[in-house]
Structure 1
Amino acid sequence: MSNPTKWCFWIFLLYVHPLMGQEGYVLGWELETEKTVNWETFNSEEARVKGLDSLKQQFALSGFLGSSWEKVYDQNDSLRVRFYLGPKVETLQLKNGNLPSGLISQSEWGVLSLDKYSLLVKDILTKLENTGHPFASIRMDSVRLDSGRLSGKLMLDQGPLILWDSIGINSSSKTNPKYLQRLSGIEVGDVFSQRQLDESALRLSRSPYFELQGKPQAIFRLQKAQPTFLLRERNANVIDGIIGLLPNENDPGKVLVTGQLDLRLYHLGGRGRDVILKWQRFNEQTQSLDLRVKESFIFNSGIDLSGEFSLLKQDTSFIKRELGLNVGFRANQNFYLTFFTKRQASDLLASSGFQGLDRLPDFADFRWNEYGIKLEGDWLDQPIFPRRGFRFGLDFATGNKRILQNTALPEELYEGLNLNTPQYALQLDMEKHFFVKSFWGMFFRSASGLIQNENLFLNDLYRIGGLQSIRGFNENNFFASTYSYLTMEQRLFFDRESYLLIFVDAGILENPNFGGRKDKPVAVGAGLNLDTGNGLFRFIYAVGKSNEQAFSLSLSKIHFGYLARF
């Protein structure tokens, strides 16, 4: 092989060998003072351009502020460049050119290291992009370089003032844009703020109605920025029920309707409008009804308005009715504050059998007008089936309770009794989720309550027990004036929302009508939570022990149900 042919062959290998076996867009770069070529491969031409810009930024952060590059060759999908670094800058001496005095403090000027200069520029641009100037830029003017120190004036180009435009939804979501605008906290006409856009994404991510698909985008046009969100609706609505038809033993020839219904309709009309209906009747004499209606951002304000009504008929003992009105608003992305008023009315059902009593029975007729406040804090990673985070709810109510004299009771039983007294109620609920591994999680919940009055009756008290509190007992098995219980669960996940669980529920309750004796119920058990795609199946097997119930497998309870979601 002749010498010219050999040289061509080696030059060919020098340029081609690093590219052999590579696919995509190749970038080779070298320094002016070195002959070593560094090769990188990118999946697109845009990514290669960003990689080249990143290299120049790295050199600038190292002090080579005047670095530049030139092409050695650019053919097909391969680009090779040579960098000229220039003199290295060790420090900078800055003077204010045209920056507003309130943008940075006077102490920031003077001699700075490159790191501090980089942080200073970043801080200035961050402040500007949060006050309506996302296209602001900074440059140095009257630049001089002397012995590694660069001096000059810092000049600012704020760019156009950008204002918020109406919100955009980049999907076929049923969510109303006006509702989303209020929920995001972004007001049309306010100055653009990148921080506000990021915070709005956190707010929306906590919604039980939909979930965000990707980061929100700001579309700029005509000095306006339109915040745009890609949403996906959740299957949040729930229907669960069972109906039974039994012969009515007390009225032969007629049928007794028993069962339960749990209907929860959320986000009706895409406006955060909720309707919740719960009904239970497992025998002829006892049934309950709960109804709640909520309207979000009433009159396009930041206020939510909700009303509630409940009815409890406890066998032949008493009937209790509650009617409430709630006014709530979101203080920030983590806290929700509610002011409420409620009227409770309870009456005895029996009209006979009270002769010969020397004291009032455990139940009484009363009216209680209460006024209260509730604070909720939420740091869960997601509103439905969270894996990590903490949540709490604290509410306090006070008001005047008036005891009514029942004409079926002897008048002397009310002698010396203060019929009008103040009554207080306090409740605290907390839960904590731990995500230990991809298949293992832990859940802790604690709940406490206190109701205080000098004349407490059974129909005043809290009702505890069952699937939502202390398992292993019948629903609303316990009456309590004070209570506190703790739930501890170990969860073994085999799908995102499906898991096996083992648990312990332990509590302490006090009922003044039973001589102030304290009960310490405990329950243990296991269960299954299974997501079927269109619903949720839950099966819980629990064994409980209390003062009135021995720890026995023959007294164990099975809680199960299926929630259809749509």
Structure 2
Amino acid sequence: MLSLMLLISTISWGQTKLWLKWESSDSSYRQNWKEFPNELEREQELDSILADFFSKGYLSAYWDFSTQRIDSLSARLNLGAKFILKEIGKGNLPEELVVEYGLPESGFMAWNQWSKTILRELENKGYPFASLKLDSLMREGEIIYASTNLDPGPLIRWDTVQVLGSTKTKAKYLQNLTRIPVGGFFSQEEFENASQVLSRSPYFELSQSPELAFRTQKASPIFYLRDRNVNVMDGVIGLLPNENEPGKVLVTGQLDLELYHLGGKGRNIAVHWQRMNKETQSLNLSARESFLFNSPLHISLAFNLLKQDSTFLNRYFGIDFDYQISNKSTIQFFTKRQASDLISTVAYQDVEELPDLADFRWNVYGIGVDYNGLDRLFSPRKGIWLQAEFAAGNKRIIQNTGIPEEAYQNIDLNTPQLVATIQLEKHLYIKKSWGMWFRGSSGFVRNKSLFINDLFRLGGLKTIRGFNENFFYAKNYGYLNMEQRLFFGEDSYLMIFTDVGFLKNPILEKEDDFPVSFGAGINLETGNGVFRFIYGLGKSNLQPLSFSYSKIHFGYLARF
């Protein structure tokens, strides 16, 4: 029984909160009772207060602990005389620092601020252990004259990056990502920037604070990483009315497989397949290699194939080089070759004018920018994301032997073609359980001879909901997605949505289209995946507002 009482007493003692109250010889400086979780933080508070008064010129200030109990401390700060730092000489300060920063103005506050600036400059140029103090002090009453005394300490250079923790990330990849130069001068700023860059990586997260290991005038940054579950397998099933067989349902499908950071080198591979209706399918393949030949450039290869029922077949092969200009911004340069061929020309054997479809080849060169200011990579709650691209190239129309030659007589077979797109996404976090999401997207394509297989394809889960996938063709487009989200988990929420858009398709429709859709859904986090269910209704020139045209999309996004 006695042992139990002693144990309870010990636990209660360990949980006791500590208090501090102090006053000074100047009644204008005082503080009432303040709570601290432990003795160390209370001592740090006392040291901080004393240092603050030193910086104000009270060089002889000291603590007098008048009353001290088990959980409380009442102290008195004896200030003493207030000294004035009148003049500071150059001392042994290097001339280049004097030229760049000058000498500090009179006063201890000015000296403290100036010395911090100098030390920050030195620690970013290889001298992290530099110290700066006042020397050769002369006193005339309460007036002090002094000169600077700089001890730069040893010159430190960067050594290789070290990677620890539960990660497959290679040290060479991390060296390139952080841009810490082996053999370069140590820089505290570079170390801090590197930590910020790593905290934004989609492949891993920092499992604990980074550290520095100093030895023989070298510094090795140590980063503790933990891999994220970023690989994606996403399957979506759509139930749509079968327009060819009324009363029956057409099952469509989509598969997204994305593998990231293969081999710990930032190497990615993605496969996207989609079946929009019975005869229409698309396939997208892409691969990315980071830090090509240890340069700051990244290269991506992409192949896309679109079979539009029995009408045409589009395919392109693209190469993309991108360079990260800041922690949040990337600039891209790309080129691609696009080819489009008619699948069947039976309906065009007797035409006198070129139909709305044609065979062509288009060589494209473009530039893009990407800005990611979201608060986190997955399930963001705040911030913006911007992506924009502009591309231009020469389009060459190929004469199809299945179409009469006279249909090409008045057509310019070689013409320049321009394409531009922009997308802006905004997340708002109103309350803990309430957020809003907006996305605006716009684009245009310009050419003297536009065909249906030149146009943008829109509609479906990732663009304008409430319509079939790739339901719309557009020369110019703009749409806005809006969602109200009610969160009940990290990546779980109920949502209602509204999409509004503007579409211009002068080839198939004389009037501009203004599609509108609305609906509701759920995003449910389930362990290593996310289940999605969305129900939507849409209205446009081509689709009436009716429950018989409603769209249901559900699928499971698995991360591993």
Range into which the TM-score falls when normalised by the shorter chain? 0.7 to 0.9
Conserved? CA contact 2:236–2:555, under 8 Å:
no
How far apart are residue 553 of structure 1 and its match? 2.4
How far apart are residue 85 of structure 1 and its match? 3.8
Instruction: State yes or no: 1:447 paired with 2:441.
Output: yes
Q: State the alpha-carbon separation in 1 of the partners of residues 236 and 455 from structure 2.
A: 28
Instruction: State yes or no: 1:124 paired with 2:118.
Output: yes
Conserved? CA contact 2:104–2:110, under 8 Å:
no
How far apart are residue 23 of structure 1 and its match? 4.0
How far apart are residue 28 of structure 1 and its match? 8.7
Conserved? CA contact 2:206–2:225, under 8 Å:
yes
Conserved? CA contact 1:23–1:41, under 8 Å:
no
Deviations along 1:75-103, one digit per CA (max 9) or x if unpaired, are 99999987654421244422211222332
Structure-to-structure mapping, 1:407-422, within 5 angstroms: 407-422=401-416
* Match of residue 184 from structure 2: 190
Conserved? CA contact 2:236–2:553, under 8 Å:
no
How far apart are residue 223 of structure 1 and its match? 2.0
* Match of residue 52 from structure 2: 58
How far apart are residue 314 of structure 1 and its match? 0.8
* Match of residue 230 from structure 1: 224
* Match of residue 12 from structure 1: none
User: Which residue of 339, 344, 354 maps to 1:345?
Assistant: 339
Structure-to-structure mapping, 1:240-255, within 5 angstroms: 240-241=234-235
TM-score with structure 2 length normalisation?
A: 0.88
How far apart are residue 164 of structure 1 and its match? 1.6
Deviations along 1:473-515, one digit per CA (max 9) or x if unpaired, are 0001111111111111111111111111112111111112125
Q: State the alpha-carbon separation in 1 of the partners of residues 252 and 433 from structure 2.
A: 40
Deviations along 1:129-151, one digit per CA (max 9) or x if unpaired, are 22222211111112123354322
Deviations along 1:293-334, one digit per CA (max 9) or x if unpaired, are 011112122111110001111111011111011111211112
Q: State the alpha-carbon separation in 2 of the partners of residues 41 and 398 from structure 1.
A: 66
* Match of residue 498 from structure 1: 492
How far apart are residue 30 of structure 1 and its match? 7.7
Instruction: State yes or no: 1:398 paired with 2:395.
Output: no
Change in CA separation of 1:22 and 1:147 when aligned onto 2, cut-off 3 Å? farther
Deviations along 1:329-359, one digit per CA (max 9) or x if unpaired, are 2111121111111000010011322133232
Change in CA separation of 1:257 and 1:467 when aligned onto 2, cut-off 3 Å? closer
Q: State the alpha-carbon separation in 2 of the partners of residues 263 and 32 from structure 1.
A: 71
Instruction: State yes or no: 1:321 paired with 2:315.
Output: yes
Conserved? CA contact 2:58–2:81, under 8 Å:
yes
* Match of residue 285 from structure 1: 279
User: Which residue of 534, 540, 547 maps to 1:540?
Assistant: 534
Letter in 1 for 2:293: F
Conserved? CA contact 1:93–1:149, under 8 Å:
no
Instruction: State yes or no: 1:267 paired with 2:249.
Output: no
Q: State the alpha-carbon separation in 2 of the partners of residues 207 and 108 from structure 1.
A: 40
* Match of residue 332 from structure 1: 326
Change in CA separation of 1:25 and 1:222 when aligned onto 2, cut-off 3 Å? farther
Change in CA separation of 1:82 and 1:353 when aligned onto 2, cut-off 3 Å? closer
Change in CA separation of 1:258 and 1:87 when aligned onto 2, cut-off 3 Å? closer
Conserved? CA contact 2:165–2:207, under 8 Å:
no
User: Which residue of 199, 213, 216 maps to 2:210?
Assistant: 216
Letter in 1 for 2:529: G
Conserved? CA contact 1:205–1:382, under 8 Å:
no
Conserved? CA contact 1:92–1:114, under 8 Å:
no
Conserved? CA contact 2:236–2:554, under 8 Å:
no
Aligned length: 535
TM-score with structure 1 length normalisation?
A: 0.87
How far apart are residue 531 of structure 1 and its match? 0.9
How far apart are residue 403 of structure 1 and its match? 0.2
Q: State the alpha-carbon separation in 2 of the partners of residues 41 and 431 from structure 1.
A: 44
Q: State the alpha-carbon separation in 2 of the partners of residues 22 and 509 from structure 1.
A: 66
Instruction: State yes or no: 1:301 paired with 2:284.
Output: no
Secondary structure of 1:361's aligned partner: coil
Instruction: State yes or no: 1:379 paired with 2:373.
Output: yes
Letter in 1 for 2:372: D
Change in CA separation of 1:385 and 1:76 when aligned onto 2, cut-off 3 Å? closer
Secondary structure of 2:192's aligned partner: helix
Letter in 1 for 2:481: T
* Match of residue 172 from structure 1: 166
How far apart are residue 69 of structure 1 and its match? 5.6
Instruction: State yes or no: 1:160 paired with 2:154.
Output: yes
Secondary structure of 1:170's aligned partner: strand
Structure-to-structure mapping, 1:19-168, within 5 angstroms: 23=16, 46-68=40-62, 85-105=79-99, 108-109=102-103, 111-168=105-162
Identity %: 49
Secondary structure of 2:479's aligned partner: strand
Q: State the alpha-carbon separation in 2 of the partners of residues 92 and 441 from structure 1.
A: 57
The answer to which of 72-81 and 324-333 deviates more is: 72-81
* Match of residue 461 from structure 2: 467
Q: State the alpha-carbon separation in 1 of the partners of residues 362 and 51 from structure 2.
A: 70
Secondary structure of 2:116's aligned partner: helix
Q: State the alpha-carbon separation in 1 of the partners of residues 436 and 523 from structure 2.
A: 14
Unaligned runs of 5+ in 2: 1-12, 239-249
Conserved? CA contact 1:182–1:297, under 8 Å:
yes
Deviations along 1:179-231, one digit per CA (max 9) or x if unpaired, are 11111121211212222122112211221111223432222222222212222
How far apart are residue 400 of structure 1 and its match? 0.5
Conserved? CA contact 1:380–1:391, under 8 Å:
yes
Conserved? CA contact 1:527–1:538, under 8 Å:
yes
Secondary structure of 1:171's aligned partner: strand
Q: State the alpha-carbon separation in 1 of the partners of residues 454 and 319 from structure 2.
A: 20
- Of structures 1 and 2, the one scoring higher in RCO (CA 8 A, sep 6+) is 2
* Match of residue 486 from structure 1: 480
The answer to which of 260-269 and 288-297 deviates more is: 260-269
